[in-house]
Amino acid sequence: IRIPVHMVETINKLNRTMRDYYQKHGEQPTVEELAKLMDKPEDKIEEIMQAARETVSLETPVGEDEDSTIGDFVADDSISSPKKEAMRMLIREEVEKVLRTLNPREAMVLKMRYGLLDGKSKTLEEVGQYFNVTRERIRQIEVKALRKLRHPSRSKYLKSLFSLLDHHEK
């Protein structure tokens, strides 16, 4: 865990002041005494002491055998869990299954409009340019495709997709 350089220097100065005081007086200084010695307000001294207490190296050994470190137990949020990744793949497969029940043009229009290709939803105008048709024509194709997906003959695909989504939320 990184601490700003100026704070590290301040913590070191605080530790030196505490050590010197202890050597002279045989006891730890109070916050009030530290504030006077360092020429800082008491609340600033408490803030520095808190920062010093909260700072722990990720390399600090943990456990009796000390073969693990704190860093071994810190989760990396930038990496998706295997469970989430598997669920994402299943949902993607189910969406593809549903879209395969449409003609290729309808499927592509929905993929583009809802960002299923690159994660970015396209406007009617952008999709129209891709297909070299008007945005009104794209709107009509989209409405028709969505109507087809609502038809009972395709609802079984959607039901399995919604079932997956329900489990994913829990």
d(CA 51, CA 93): 48
pLDDT over 70 (residue 109): yes
pLDDT band for position 153 (cuts 50, 70, 90): confident
pLDDT band for position 133 (cuts 50, 70, 90): very high
CB atoms near residue 54 (< 10 Å): 9
The better pLDDT of the pair 162, 135 is held by 135
Provide mean pLDDT across the span 57-75: 69
For the chain, the domains span 5-73, 82-169
pLDDT band for position 167 (cuts 50, 70, 90): low
Please state which architecture CATH assigns to domain 82-169: Orthogonal Bundle (1.10)
The better pLDDT of the pair 101, 140 is held by 140
The closest of 138, 135, 147 to 105, measured between CA atoms, is 138
CATH 1.10.10.10 assigned to 5-73: yes
The better pLDDT of the pair 91, 39 is held by 39
Full-model pTM:
0.51
Residue 93 confidence (pLDDT): 85
Do 3 and 55 form a contact (C-beta atoms < 8 A)? yes
The reply to whether 82-169 shares the fold of 5-73 is yes
The better pLDDT of the pair 158, 127 is held by 127
Residue 6 confidence (pLDDT): 81
DSSP letters of the chain?
A: ----HHHHHHHHHHHHHHHHHHHHHSSPPPHHHHHHHHT--HHHHHHHHHHHHH---TT-EESSS--EEGGGG---TTS--HHHHHHHHHHHHHHHHHHTTS-HHHHHHHHHHTTTTTS-PPPHHHHHHHHTS-HHHHHHHHHHHHHHHHSHHHHHHHHHHHHHHHHHH-
